[in-house]
Amino acid sequence: MSLFDYEALKDGKERVSGKVEANSEKEAREFLRKQNLLPLKLNELGSAKKTVNVKEKTAKKAGKSKKHIIRPLGMRDKIDFTNIMYTFAKSGISLVESLFFLETNAESENIRNLSMEIRRKILGGAGLSEALSKFPSSFDDVYVGLIKAGEESGEFEETLQRIYVLLQKQDKLMSSIISTLAYPVFVMALAILVTIALLTFVFPAFKGMYDSMGSELPIITAIFMAIGLFLKAHWYVIPLIFLSLGFLVYFMFTWDVSRRFLDDLGLKIPVFERFVRFTAIANFIVVLRVAFEAGIPMVDSLMLANYTVRNAVLRDSLKKVIIDVQYGSSLSNSLKKSKVFPGIVMCLLATGEEAGSLTEMLNQTSDYIEEQVDRVVELLSKLFEPFLFLIIGGIVLTLGLSLYLPLFQAYSNIG
């Protein structure tokens, strides 16, 4: 097999270049056309294996052999990786050749390095699922489990397509979550920053005037004045405050006890509870559907789906579903006992089980849940604005009163 250097037109206008591995020039041209590329120039560089060996020997002789750093794949990189692998598998290109193409032509350096390591493990005798399992930070148990099911069932191409659709849905859901929470988080951070700035620079500026009045300061003003003078004298404490707040937030969301408390609290807040519940259900249903379509047994499909549920309270409830199904209970009855899913979902799944069309009903359930998530996100976005205005208004009112209360007190004494 030879390595060819090519230049081609993409979509009839964009000029692209790269390398492709093929048995002949004709095969290389056919491969490029299947990728919707119009070959312009094609130069044979020699044997692909020989070229790789020469590069490795040269690097070793020069003492410049370096270890590639592989970082966790982001969601977009993972989607691109899966989509390209699916496209190549659909075109009949072997797995090793697909990985070699990614290794030499992927835009992301991280994907190139990762493809190189996966290809090496496969050439060493490992299957794709086994090779991917060596990179758990990029490919979780759900991804690896679906790939393994595709390898065992002989539906590798279909499984890659299902994973691609799954990742697209998860990315859309994550974007909805981020867009919903980003605005209030930004506003609250800005409110904290403005409060610290007022305490540090504005309150100390009033100290001389308050001292000249000779009267005792109201308790709230005295507290804020003491904090402001301390921050102004020890300004280096301010970055430590932000670092401490950041660490506190990280600790609360990572420590099991505090995380479980927050998860339980989130399920008790009106409206926000629906957001937490439906986003968890959305991930659960879409993974369950993809896993079941891939031919994975229902119990194993439920286990894979449960990996995606981040809320500890909901995850524990759904673990009981797995046990019930394992002991012979129907899926709809087991989910009904968990009290996690809305009634209409129970009806859809029960109908699907009775009619023998569970896959179709899982599809409809997934669409219904996505619609509910969109509605809850829209509702939360509308509710956050007045809620944030109340908080910011309360902060401004408190700070303003603490500044002017001594003045009002002085005027009343004069009268």
Could you report the per-residue pLDDT of 267-287, keeping only the tens digit for each? 888 888 888 888 888 888 888
Q: Report pLDDT digits (tens) over 360-408.
A: 888 888 888 888 888 888 888 888 888 888 888 888 888 888 888 887 7
The domain 69-139 is placed in CATH, from the list 1.20.81.30, 1.10.10.60, 3.40.50.300, 2.40.33.10, at 1.20.81.30
What pLDDT score does 375 carry?
Answer: 87
Does domain 1-66 fall under CATH 3.10.20? My reply is yes
Among the listed residues 255, 278, 254, 276, the one whose alpha carbon sits nearest the alpha carbon of residue 264: 276
Q: Residue 59: which pLDDT band, with cuts at 50, 70 and 90?
A: very low
**pLDDT given at position 102:** 86
CA distances from 36 to 6, 15, 341 (A): 14, 12, 44
Mean pLDDT of the chain, nearest integer: 82
Cβ atoms of residues 329 and 350 within 8 Å: no
pLDDT at 11: 59
- CB contact at 8 A, 147 and 128: yes
User: How confident is the model over 196-211, as pLDDT tens digits?
Assistant: 888 888 888 888 887 7
In whole angstroms, what is the distance from residue 175 CA to residue 321 CA? 29
> Longest C-alpha distance within the chain, in Å?
101
Element spanning 4, H or E: strand 2-10
Distance CA 95, CA 313 (A): 41
Residue 48, pLDDT above cutoff 60: no
**pLDDT tens for residues 175-230?**
888 888 888 888 888 888 888 888 888 888 888 887 777 777 888 888 888 988 88
CA distance 318 to 307: 10
Rg (CA), the chain: 30
Is the pLDDT at 147 greater than 60, yes or no? yes
pLDDT at position 56 is 45
Give the span between the Cα atoms of 189 and 219, in whole angstroms.
Answer: 26
Domain map (residue ranges) of the chain:
1-66, 69-139, 167-415
CA dist., res. 366 & res. 283, Å (int):
9
What is the predicted pLDDT for the residue at 64? 43
| Cβ–Cβ under 8 Å, residues 102 and 81 | yes
User: Is residue 54 over pLDDT 50?
Assistant: no
pLDDT tens per residue, range 314-341:
988 888 888 988 888 888 888 888 888 8
Q: Does 67 have pLDDT greater than 70? A: no
